[in-house]
Structure 1
Amino acid sequence: MRFSYLEHVEREILPTIEILWEISRTFHGDSDAYVGEYYQLIRELAEHHRGQTEHEKLTAICRAFYRELGFSEAPESHLSAKRILLDRVISYRTGLPIAMAVLLQEALAYAGLQAELVDFPGYPLLRCDDDQRSYFIDPCNGRLLENEQVRERFSELTDDGHDFAWELLVGAEQKTILVRYLTDLKHAFIQDRAFANALTTVHMLLTLLPNDPYEIRDRGYVLEELDCPQAAVDDYQYFVEQCPDDPSAQLLRLQLETWAAPQPILH
């Protein structure tokens, strides 16, 4: 499988949002209708708040995104692809934080505000800078977080050995965002037992992370679920060779030995 829109991510030629629209189109033929609807909404939102100061605009767009447009955090405790793929998040008006962050980022951009995704522990935050300070936005609800709230959240979600520093809260590279997004999508398709779509997503990840042993291991699992045992064996064998000390390699080694053992003939 070839995904040309993922092949030049290192150079960040395409905007991240355009790549995510393409990912949605891969799985849904009706994506463009939802994309068009969304841009109509955020154009009207930007027009309504024209002439405000940057801070007024920031708070107004964040509030309107959740109250007027009706977006909210996904209610389920388990992953589902319809809460990650942007076209379905627009349709259902609810999604996981990374999807909400990207959509809110685009709404802010249409209002003339530049926001960056920060690869924060737990889930990404949005960062919007002006001349005097930085604002951090929680994509689950649009709240602007105070500096102390950001610091406390970091401490809660990281090990004791990680020291907080504001230098960590820089905008993430496009590749980092896409790997995080596609990893969530892969796990969601597996949860949904949509293994053919999960396989497509693994191939997307391997476009970004060629020969990554963990993605190849996951491809093996998906292939096994799709009744392609020989292809799964090849992927599992590669992982075991590349990551012999990984705990999952021990289990896979036993599984490979079981598969290789001659099966008794029943008469």
Structure 2
Amino acid sequence: MMNNFYHEVTQPDHQINLAKACLLIASQEYPTLDLEEYLNALDTMGQEIEERLPASSYPLKIIQTINDYLFKDLGFKGNTTDYYDPRNSFLNDVIDRRIGIPITLSVVYLELAKRLNFPMVGIGMPGHFMIRPDFEEAGIFVDVFNRGEILFEQDCEQRLQQVYQQPVKLEPHFLDAVTNQQILGRILTNLKYIYLNRQEFSKTLKTIEQILLIFPNHPLELRDKGLIYYQLGQWEKASQDLKIYLALLPDAQDATVIRQLLQQIS
């Protein structure tokens, strides 16, 4: 599965099949997962939405039609009661259970929009992932976690303040479109911290390895991989990763602590 994931995520970004890559992430948890079953499910959903579209459709009408289908008819919703359930990060579970977190619900929405030839892009706003139509000066944003609520730029700042419970200025780059690789990295990072908090170190390790397939030699991921190996008592592997981390970031804030750790295990 790792080889398939590597092949998918190292293509030019626009060629990455986002749904397939997300299902390959899920296949770490579900080794017998039938990817085609869920890709076909998305195809079917896309066809059903297309049948509901009026002959002359404009962006807001398309968004409204997707919203009615996803949230009213199928009952998709954001998981507000168990946000850190790892199933919220697995696309097959999100499709089966019709519940998820902002980024995985957004992947479903992006995939359906793509099937309607209505390109949309992800917006990696801190703390709350959203999407928007992919054309210049679209000016509207869709909050998939909140039943496809349509927001304008000033609403995004309010949403940001709700997330952080304090005044936050909306920086222009918060609304920049993100790549498929960045979306996958964010899903995996969510999973990584869920597993870490549960002290499921072997699953944490596999998740970091997937992140490193997308972003090779990412210093912080190498450091964290080394620290996980340390927790698992695999000193040689821990030492290797931590040394690379220090070579990449010799002046890192935690460099002294990491050097002390290396002295202990060498």
1:94-132 CA distances to partner (integer Å, 9 max, x unpaired)?
A: 112111111111222333422111122222211126798
> For residue 67 of structure 2, what is the aligned residue in structure 1?
62
Secondary structure of 1:134's partner? coil
Secondary structure of 1:12's partner? helix
**How far apart are the structure 1 equivalents of 2:136 and 2:212?**
40
- The 3 A distance-change label for structure 1 pair 168 and 227 is closer
Match for 1:239: what amino acid? Y
Whether 2:49 is the aligned partner of 1:49: answer no
Query: Larger deviation: 141-150 or 109-118?
Result: 109-118
> For residue 19 of structure 2, what is the aligned residue in structure 1?
17
**How far apart are the structure 1 equivalents of 2:93 and 2:15?**
25
Q: Which of the pair has more CA radius of gyration? A: 1
Match for 1:86: what amino acid? L
**How far apart are the structure 1 equivalents of 2:145 and 2:77?**
7
Match for 2:49: what amino acid? L
Query: Larger deviation: 186-195 or 132-141?
Result: 186-195
Matches within 5 A, 1:123-138: 123-128=128-133, 133-138=138-143
> For residue 101 of structure 2, what is the aligned residue in structure 1?
96
State whether residues 9 and 214 of structure 2, in contact with CA within 8 Å, keep that contact through their aligned partners in structure 1: yes
Query: Larger deviation: 52-61 or 124-133?
Result: 124-133
Match for 2:183: what amino acid? I
1:14-47 CA distances to partner (integer Å, 9 max, x unpaired)?
A: 2323322333334422243344334323422332
State whether residues 9 and 16 of structure 2, in contact with CA within 8 Å, keep that contact through their aligned partners in structure 1: no
Secondary structure of 1:123's partner? coil
1:188-207 CA distances to partner (integer Å, 9 max, x unpaired)?
A: 33334443333222222212
Percent identity, aligned pairs only? 21
1:118-163 CA distances to partner (integer Å, 9 max, x unpaired)?
A: 1222222111267984320012121001332124445777999966
Aligned length: 258
Give the superposed CA RMSD.
3.1
Whether 2:149 is the aligned partner of 1:143: answer yes
Match for 2:9: what amino acid? L
**How far apart are the structure 1 equivalents of 2:61 and 2:40?**
27
Query: Larger deviation: 151-160 or 110-119?
Result: 151-160
**How far apart are the structure 2 equivalents of 1:91 and 1:16?**
18
Stretches of structure 1 that go unaligned for 5 or more consecutive residues are 261-267
> For residue 264 of structure 1, what is the aligned residue in structure 2?
none
Stretches of structure 2 that go unaligned for 5 or more consecutive residues are none
Output the TM-score relative to the length of structure 2: 0.81
> For residue 253 of structure 1, what is the aligned residue in structure 2?
259
Output the TM-score relative to the length of structure 1: 0.80
Match of 1:30 among 33, 36, 61: 33
State whether residues 195 and 203 of structure 2, in contact with CA within 8 Å, keep that contact through their aligned partners in structure 1: yes
> For residue 8 of structure 1, what is the aligned residue in structure 2?
11
Secondary structure of 2:132's partner? strand
Match of 1:40 among 25, 41, 44: 44
**How far apart are the structure 1 equivalents of 2:83 and 2:56?**
40
**How far apart are the structure 2 equivalents of 1:129 and 1:4?**
26
